[in-house]
């Protein structure tokens, strides 16, 4: 699933729009690059990993994060502000009985500030369509085999709402510090296509 899929047509349309704006001298390519760089400044999966590590280490933070993620993000210097409007972030927790995975079926809505730029497979039509219809099979293609009795919920992001998966804490990590815990977390774990 993660390799060999064509890019979404949305990316091609965006590039054509950029080219037309540049040709019409509405904007220069350097301005577009600067706007993108400003949007992505500080955007990294390390931000999401910090959230997960704090939730694993601090039960009160975890409880409040699951109840209202936007309200607790400022405690670790993060927010969902930026862009045209603030987006609502919902954190969904993986457990032994339940697994969560994120998709945006319409385009590629995604919490860039917390996960960094989205992987190409996240934007592919194959992933967007199939993970909704057959999540267990898609997760298996990523190498994540879940027990048959594990319920899988697929969360569909939108322009207003974004999701982040709180993966299960690995066994044997009870003595690890938050930075050590954060180092275990991957972008795929935050999307739900991999375990930590």
Read off the pLDDT of residues 93-131 as tens digits, 9 standing for 90 and up: 999 999 999 999 987 788 888 988 888 899 888 999 999
- pLDDT value of residue 177: 97
pTM beyond cutoff 0.85: no
Return the number of other C-beta atoms located less than 10 Å from residue 175's C-beta. 6
Hey, what are 191's tokens?
């999307």
Contact status, residue 150 vs residue 137, Cβ threshold 8 Å: no
User: Rounded distance, CA 108 to CA 159, Å?
Assistant: 9
Which pLDDT band, with edges at 50, 70 and 90, does 195 fall under? very high
Return the number of other C-beta atoms located less than 10 Å from residue 100's C-beta. 22
- pLDDT value of residue 60: 98
- pLDDT value of residue 2: 40
Going by their DSSP bridges, the two strands 98-103 and 151-156 should be labelled as: parallel
Task: Map out the domains of the chain as residue ranges.
Answer: 9-191
Residue 87: alpha-carbon gap to chain centroid: 13
- pLDDT value of residue 4: 36
Characterise 83 by phi-psi region: left (phi > 0), alpha (psi -120 to 50), beta (else).
left
Hey, what are 142's tokens?
């990523």
- Could you tell me which residues come within 8 angstroms of residue 82 by beta carbon, excluding any fewer than 6 positions away? 39, 113
Residue owning tokens 């409040």 = 64
Which pLDDT band, with edges at 50, 70 and 90, does 29 fall under? confident
User: Rounded distance, CA 108 to CA 111, Å?
Assistant: 10
User: Rounded distance, CA 105 to CA 123, Å?
Assistant: 9
First to last CA, the chain: 19
Hey, what are 179's tokens?
């930075």
Q: Which residues are catalytic?
A: 104, 107-109
Cβ-in-10-Å burial (0-12, 13-18, 19+) of 173 comes to middle
CATH architecture of the domain formed by 9-191? Alpha-Beta Complex (3.90)
pLDDT at 84 over 50: no
């Amino acid at each position: 699933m993660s390799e060999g899929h064509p890019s979404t047509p949305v990316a091609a349309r965006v590039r054509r729009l950029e080219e037309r704006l540049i040709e019409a001298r509405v904007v220069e390519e350097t301005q577009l690059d600067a706007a993108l760089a400003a949007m992505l400044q500080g955007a990294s999966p390390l931000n999401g990993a910090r959230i997960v590590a704090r939730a694993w280490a601090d039960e009160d933070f975890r409880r409040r994060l699951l109840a209202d993620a936007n309200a607790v993000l400022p405690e670790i210097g993060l927010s969902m502000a930026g862009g045209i409007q603030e987006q609502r972030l919902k954190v969904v927790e993986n457990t032994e009985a339940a697994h969560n995975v994120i998709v945006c079926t319409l385009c590629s809505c995604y919490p860039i500030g917390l996960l960094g730029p989205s992987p190409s497979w996240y934007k592919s039509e194959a992933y967007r369509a199939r993970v909704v219809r057959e999540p267990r099979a898609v997760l298996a293609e990523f190498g994540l085999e879940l027990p048959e009795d594990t319920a899988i919920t697929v969360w569909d992001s939108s322009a207003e709402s974004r999701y982040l998966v709180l993966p299960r804490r690995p066994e044997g990590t009870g003595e690890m510090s938050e930075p050590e815990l954060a180092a275990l977390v991957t972008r795929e774990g935050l999307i739900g296509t991999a375990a930590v």
